[in-house]
């Protein structure tokens, strides 16, 4: 296995179903220090250098929060653990209906699912963010969702690369 293949095997899933981000990060700097901060900086640089269409594809690769994939057990292990940490796997019928309603309205408006780094948030925090961000304009929300993807990536890297400050 080449160094690039090894890097992509380890970090290709950090940006949801988008191994090209890790491939491009490695191509830009094949000597990235294997720390959460360095790998994150390289992945984010590759993501930000991508076209809007490529970035949109990354946003669209994310699952709905508490959506059909979660119910059917089709989430990646990272997404499953992240959603469970916020209690999204234990919603009441009414809460699930509200998430479904917001997911549908949000996706219809922006063309990608609502994305938020859920670590440390409760389901009420997430609903409040949902209800606020649905009023954003398209470009503002594209940038907000992209920033959330980058935050999720950092959290995932911190869990993969122990020994760093996890503050």
Q: What is residue 65's predicted lDDT score, i.e. its pLDDT?
A: 77
Show which residues are catalytic: 62
Least confidently predicted of 25-29, 53-57, 99-103: 99-103
| Superfamily, domain 58-152 | Oxo-4-hydroxy-4-carboxy-5-ureidoimidazoline decarboxylase (1.10.3330.10)
The pLDDT mean for the chain works out to: 89
* pLDDT tier, 82 (very low <50, low <70, confident <90, very high otherwise): confident
Give pLDDT tens digits for 90-120: 888 898 889 889 999 999 999 999 999 988 8
Q: What is residue 167's predicted lDDT score, i.e. its pLDDT?
A: 43
**pLDDT exceeds 60 at position 163:** no
Q: What is residue 74's predicted lDDT score, i.e. its pLDDT?
A: 56
Q: What is residue 39's predicted lDDT score, i.e. its pLDDT?
A: 96
Q: Where are the domains of the chain?
A: 58-152
Taking alpha carbons only, the member of 65, 61, 71 closest to residue 19 is 61
């Amino acid at each position: 296995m080449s160094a690039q293949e090894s890097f992509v095997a380890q970090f290709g899933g950090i940006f949801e179903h988008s191994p090209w981000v890790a491939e491009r990060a490695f191509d830009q700097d094949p000597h990235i220090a294997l720390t959460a901060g360095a790998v994150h900086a390289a992945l984010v640089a590759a993501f930000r250098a991508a076209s809007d269409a490529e970035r949109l594809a990354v946003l669209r690769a994310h699952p709905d929060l508490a959506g059909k994939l979660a119910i059917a057990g089709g989430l990646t292990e990272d997404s499953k653990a992240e959603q469970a940490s916020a209690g999204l796997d234990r919603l009441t019928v009414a809460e699930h209906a509200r998430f479904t309603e917001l997911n549908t309205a949000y996706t219809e408006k922006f063309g990608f699912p609502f994305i938020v780094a859920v670590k440390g948030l409760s389901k009420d925090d997430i609903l409040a963010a949902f209800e606020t961000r649905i009023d954003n304009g398209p470009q503002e929300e594209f940038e907000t969702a992209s920033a959330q993807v980058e935050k999720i990536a950092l959290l995932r890297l911190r869990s993969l690369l122990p020994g760093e400050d996890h503050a």
